[in-house]
Amino acid sequence: MKAVTSRASSAMGEGIRALSALLEARTGQVLSQDRQWRAETALQPVLRAHGLSDVEVLAAHLARHRDMRLEAQVVDALLNNESSFFRDHQVFEMIRGQVLPDIRARRADRRLRIWSAGCSTGQEAYSLAIQLCNDAENWRGWRIEILATDISATAIHRARGGIFPQMDVQRGLPVNDLIQWFEPVAEGWRAHGRLRGMIDFRQDNLLDPQAPCGPYDLLLCRNVMLYFAQERRGRMFDLLKRHSHEDSVLLLGAGETAIGHGEPFVAHPDFRGAYRLPSCARGPARFPLRRA
C-alpha cells in the first residue's frame, strides 16, 4: 500500500511538473512547491469540464495532442489572480494624498496616464478610478486614461463586467465607496458605468506586450513579478522602463523590489516604497511639465 501511495505521488508530481512548465513558458510564472498543491484544486473545474480523471491524465493528454484551447484553460486556472480593493491600504493612501497631487502639480498639459499591469479582476484599477472620482473637482478638465492589462482572459472578462461578489467588496472597499460607486445586482455588486468607462481593460501578456503605449505617469505592477524567475524580472523592468518618463512613479507589490536588477529603477526620494528612473536614464520630458 505504501509503495502504491509513493508511486502515485511521484507520478502525480510528473503531471504537475509538466503543467508548471507550460505555465512558465506561457506566462513567466513559476509554480513554487507550496502552490503546486493548490494547483491541483485549481485544475478541478478544467478536469471536470473535459471529463478527465486527474492531473496525470490531463498532462498526458496535452503531451499527445496540440490542444491550444485546453492549454489556455490550464494556464488560466493555474494563475494566481488574488487581488482586493485598495490592497495595501497605505499604498493607496500615498497615491491619493501624495502621488496623484504631485502629478497634478507637474503636468501642465492636464493629462494623466496610469497603467495597472497584471490587474487581475480589476480591483486595483477600480480603486484608482474611485480615488479619482472622489476627487473629481480637482481633476476637472483633465484627460485621464487608465490601462489595465492581464494575461488571463477570464480575469479580464470579469474586470470588464465590473461585477464583484459580496465577498470581494467586503475586502478593502470602504462602505461609502460601495454605496456611491456600486449598485446591487443578483451576483453581487456592479461598478457604475462611470468607473467602468474610465478603464481600458485588455488581455495582454507582459512577456509579449502589445497593449501598453506609454509613457505612463503612474505604473503599478504589483504581486506579478513575485513568481517570475530572476531573468524574466529583468525583462519586466526593461518593459516598465520603456513605458516610463522622467517623472513616472512605479509601484510594486509589498514583497517585490526593483533593487538588484541592474538599477533600472531607483527608490523614489519622495514616495515611500515607490520607484523612479535613475537620473542617468531620465531624458528630457516628452510633454510639458510645470517646474517649481
- Collapsing DSSP to helix, strand or coil, 49 comes out as helix
**Is the CB of 11 or the CB of 229 nearer to ligand SAM?**
229
Q: Residue 105: is it exposed, middle or buried by C-beta count within 10 angstroms (0-12/13-18/19+)?
A: exposed
Binder among 22, 42, 52, 81 for ligand SAM (CB under 6 A): 81
Contacts of residue 229, defined as CB under 8 A and 6 or more positions apart, other chains included, come to 24, 28, 30
Contact 92, 124 (CB under 8 A): no
Query: Per CB under 6 A, does 120 bind ligand SAM?
Result: yes
Binds ligand SAM by CB under 6 A, chosen from 41, 82, 186, 284: 82
Q: Which of residues 252-291 bind ligand SAM (CB under 6 A)?
A: 253
| Sole binder of ligand SAM in the list 96, 158, 222, 243 (CB under 6 A) | 222
Decide whether 80 or 257 has the Cβ nearer to ligand SAM.
80
Which residues, other chains included, contact 222 with Cβ-Cβ below 8 Å and sequence gap of 6+?
87, 88, 118, 124, 251, 252, 253, 256
Bridge partners, 163 (sequence order):
190
28 vs 215, beta carbon nearer ligand SAM: 28
Largest CA distance in the chain: 76
Q: What minimum distance in Å lies between the beta carbon of 127 and ligand SAM?
A: 9
Distance CA 103, CA 287 (A): 13
> Closest separation between CB of residue 226 and ligand SAM, Å?
7
Residue 70 parent element (H or E): helix 68-78
Q: Does residue 155 interact with ligand SAM by CB under 6 A? A: yes
Segment interacting with ligand SAM (CB under 6 A) among 16-24, 125-133, 147-155, 261-269: 147-155
What's the min distance (Å) between Cβ of 82 and ligand SAM? 4
Q: Which residues bind ligand SAM (CB under 6 A)?
A: 27-29, 79-83, 87, 118-120, 124, 150-152, 155, 205-207, 222-224, 253
